[in-house]
Structure 1
Amino acid sequence: MSFYDHPRILRASGVFQTHPERFDEFIASQIEDHGVKRGHRLIVLNPARGVFDGDGAGGLLHEMACEMSVPGILAALEFASQYVGPRKIRPSWLFGSGAARAKLDPQSANEGSQMEVGIVQIMQSFGWDNMTDAQVYEDETKLAVMADELGYDHVWTVEHHFEDYSFCPDNFVYLANLAAKTKRIGLATGACIVPWNLQPLRIAEKAALLDLLSGGRAILGLGRGLSRREFSQFGVSMDESRERFDEAAPLILEALETGFFPEHHGKFINQPKAPLRPRPEKSWRDRVTQVAMSPDSGEQAAKLGAQMMAFNYKAPEQQRQECADYATSFRKYHGRDPRPPLLTDISVCDSDPKRARENAEKYCAGYCLSVLHHYEMLGEHYKEAKGYKAYGDAVDAMRAMGKDGIAKSYVDLQVWGTPDQMLRKFEERWEYMGAYGVLCSFRFAGMPFEVSERSIKLFAKEVLPVLRSWTKEQGPRKASAAA
Structure 2
Amino acid sequence: MELGLRYDMRAPDFGAPIADLYSAALEQCAWADSLGFDAVHVAEHHGTEDGYLPSSLVFCSAVAARTQRIGLQPSALLVTLHDPLRLAEDLAVIDILSGGGRLNVVAGIGYLEREFEMFGVDFATRARTFETKIDVLRTALRGEPFEYEGRTVVVSPAPLGDGPTISIGGSAPPSARRAARLGLPYVPTSRELYELYEEELAKAGKPAPAPFRNHTPTFVHLAEDPERALAVVGPHVMHTSNMYARWAMSRSDAANGNYRPMTSLDQVRQDPDIWIITPEECLSRLEGFGEHDELRFHPLFGGLDPDESWESLRLFEDRVLPKLIANGSFTKT
TM-score by length of 1: 0.58
1:242-263 CA distances to partner (integer Å, 9 max, x unpaired)?
221122213322333x323643
1:218 corresponds to 2:91 = no
1:31-430 alignment to 2 at 5 Å? 115-126=1-12, 128=14, 131-197=16-82, 199-216=83-100, 217-256=102-141, 258-260=142-144, 262-264=146-148, 270=149, 272-284=151-163, 287-311=165-189, 319-330=190-201, 332=204, 334-341=206-213, 343=215, 345-359=218-232, 361-373=234-246, 375=247, 377-379=248-250, 382-383=251-252, 389=253, 403-404=262-263, 408=267, 411-428=271-288
Give yes or no for contact 1:153–1:185 (8 Å, CA) kept in 2. Answer: yes
1:163-196 CA distances to partner (integer Å, 9 max, x unpaired)?
2434333222222122222222222212220111
Give yes or no for contact 1:148–1:184 (8 Å, CA) kept in 2. Answer: yes
The one of 296, 300, 307 equivalent to 1:450 is: 307
Give yes or no for contact 2:233–2:304 (8 Å, CA) kept in 1. Answer: no
1:286-308 CA distances to partner (integer Å, 9 max, x unpaired)?
x3333221122123234444444
Give yes or no for contact 1:128–1:445 (8 Å, CA) kept in 2. Answer: no
SS in 2 for 1:243: helix
Give yes or no for contact 2:226–2:276 (8 Å, CA) kept in 1. Answer: no
SS in 2 for 1:404: coil
SS in 2 for 1:192: strand
SS in 2 for 1:188: strand
Q: In structure 2, what is the Cα distance between the partners aligned to 1:254 and 1:470?
A: 44
Q: In structure 1, what is the Cα distance between the partners aligned to 2:317 and 2:182?
A: 32
1:393-419 CA distances to partner (integer Å, 9 max, x unpaired)?
x9xxx9xx9653899379332344223
Unaligned runs of 5+ in 1: 1-114, 265-269, 312-318, 384-388
Q: In structure 2, what is the Cα distance between the partners aligned to 1:292 and 1:136?
A: 27
Q: Cα distance 1:141–1:422, how it changes in 2: closer, same or farther (>3 A)?
A: same
Deviation (angstroms), 1:335: 0.9
Deviation (angstroms), 1:205: 1.5
Deviation (angstroms), 1:116: 2.9
Q: In structure 1, what is the Cα distance between the partners aligned to 2:223 and 2:58?
A: 32
1:409-430 CA distances to partner (integer Å, 9 max, x unpaired)?
7933234422343344455576
The one of 282, 293, 311 equivalent to 1:436 is: 293
Give yes or no for contact 1:363–1:447 (8 Å, CA) kept in 2. Answer: yes
Deviation (angstroms), 1:160: 2.1
Deviation (angstroms), 1:367: 1.6
Q: In structure 2, what is the Cα distance between the partners aligned to 1:462 and 1:328?
A: 41
Q: In structure 2, what is the Cα distance between the partners aligned to 1:150 and 1:191?
A: 25
Q: In structure 2, what is the Cα distance between the partners aligned to 1:132 and 1:288?
A: 34
Give yes or no for contact 1:291–1:310 (8 Å, CA) kept in 2. Answer: yes
1:362-390 CA distances to partner (integer Å, 9 max, x unpaired)?
432232123245x2x444xx25xxxxx35
- Residue identity in the other structure for 1:200: P
Identity of aligned residues (%): 25
Q: Cα distance 1:166–1:243, how it changes in 2: closer, same or farther (>3 A)?
A: farther
Count of residues paired in the alignment:
324
Across the aligned residues of Structure 1 and Structure 2, the Cα RMSD in angstroms comes to 3.4
Give yes or no for contact 1:221–1:290 (8 Å, CA) kept in 2. Answer: yes
Q: In structure 2, what is the Cα distance between the partners aligned to 1:165 and 1:305?
A: 36
Q: In structure 1, what is the Cα distance between the partners aligned to 2:171 and 2:45?
A: 17
- Residue identity in the other structure for 1:445: G
Q: Cα distance 1:229–1:260, how it changes in 2: closer, same or farther (>3 A)?
A: same
Give yes or no for contact 1:250–1:304 (8 Å, CA) kept in 2. Answer: no
Q: In structure 2, what is the Cα distance between the partners aligned to 1:211 and 1:220?
A: 11
1:83-114 CA distances to partner (integer Å, 9 max, x unpaired)?
xxxxxxxxxxxxxxxxxxxxxxxxxxxxxxxx
Give yes or no for contact 2:222–2:279 (8 Å, CA) kept in 1. Answer: yes
Q: Which structure has more RCO (C-alpha within 8 Å, separation ≥ 6)?
A: 2
Unaligned runs of 5+ in 2: none
Deviation (angstroms), 1:207: 1.0
Give yes or no for contact 1:289–1:307 (8 Å, CA) kept in 2. Answer: yes
SS in 2 for 1:452: helix
Deviation (angstroms), 1:271: 5.9
Give yes or no for contact 2:201–2:208 (8 Å, CA) kept in 1. Answer: yes
TM-score by length of 2: 0.81
Q: Cα distance 1:406–1:447, how it changes in 2: closer, same or farther (>3 A)?
A: closer
